[in-house]
Amino acid sequence: MKRDRQIPSCPLILFAVVVCSGEVASADAYKEGVLPYVRKYCVECHTGKEAKGELDLTRYANASDVAASSRRWNSIAEFIRNGEMPPEDAKQPTIDERNSVVATVEAILLAEAQKHAGDPGVVLPRRLSNTEYDLSIRELTGVDIRPTKDFPADRLEVKALTIQAKRSGCHQIF
Ligand code: HEC
């Protein structure tokens, strides 16, 4: 009996989507990839003068607003990534929504940082560690394929390159 071979194409496609989501098209990355999330999960507490933590998220309308406040947004991305915001008792995003919004914010900040390469005032977004990456992929695809097993050992190499780059006065991002 002839049986169709099952091709596990789905995880591969999702994998590609995850990888590509870091490269956001120039349409407006914020309006498309972040604003809907902010509206859904954040503005309820972060609007206007009464905004919690004195953070009025309605002030940011597009990617250039975010780029102009890169320090602030680096910290906002950190809060989202760590699951500190929205607070536990508020409506929670899925891990997929969260990862995608963090990736978009990081892509915006990275593009901005690259424009100002050499400017020491820029805060660079952090990369996902290999473990975080594997967990995200597993969460998204339901398959524990651990794509990072083929990646270089976590961070050490990145650190070495960064130090090397700093020494040579270069602020390229790794
Ligand atoms: C249910 C209300 C609520 C929601 C929803 C909420 N926050 Fe907050 N947020 C707070 C409160 C309260 C604080 C202040 C905490 C403090 O000062 O200790 C805060 C503080 C923060 C801070 C720190 C501000 C600073 O610099 O001190 C950030 C960043 C932040 N929120 C981002 C977000 C983001 C992004 C979202 C949406 C994903 C979000 N928050 C959703 C209530 C909320």
Pocket of ligand 1 (CB under 6 A): 41-42, 44-46, 52-53, 55, 75-76, 79-80, 85-87, 90
Angstrom distances, CA of residue 143 to CA of 2, 12, 16, 87, 137: 26, 10, 14, 29, 8
Which ranges of 28-81 does DSSP label H, i.e. alpha helix?
Answer: 29-33, 35-41, 63-68, 70-81
Q: Given this model, what pLDDT does residue 17 score?
A: 44
In the reported structure, the alpha carbon of residue 76 is separated from the centroid of ligand 1 by a whole-number distance in angstroms of 9
Chain segment 51-61, per-residue pLDDT in tens = 999 999 999 99
First to last CA, the chain: 52
CA 46 – ligand 1 centroid, Å = 7
Find the mean pLDDT for residues 108-116: 89
Burial-class residue 56 by CB neighbours within 10 Å (0-12, 13-18, 19+). Answer: middle
Please report, for the chain, how many H helices and E strands are present, in that order.
8, 0
Please name the residue whose Cα sits nearest to atom 28 of ligand 1. Answer: 76
Distance between Cα 139 and ligand 1 center (Å): 25
Model confidence pTM above 0.75: no
Cβ(55)–Cβ(77) under 8 Å?
A: no
Contact 130, 154 (CB under 8 A): yes
pLDDT value of position 115: 84
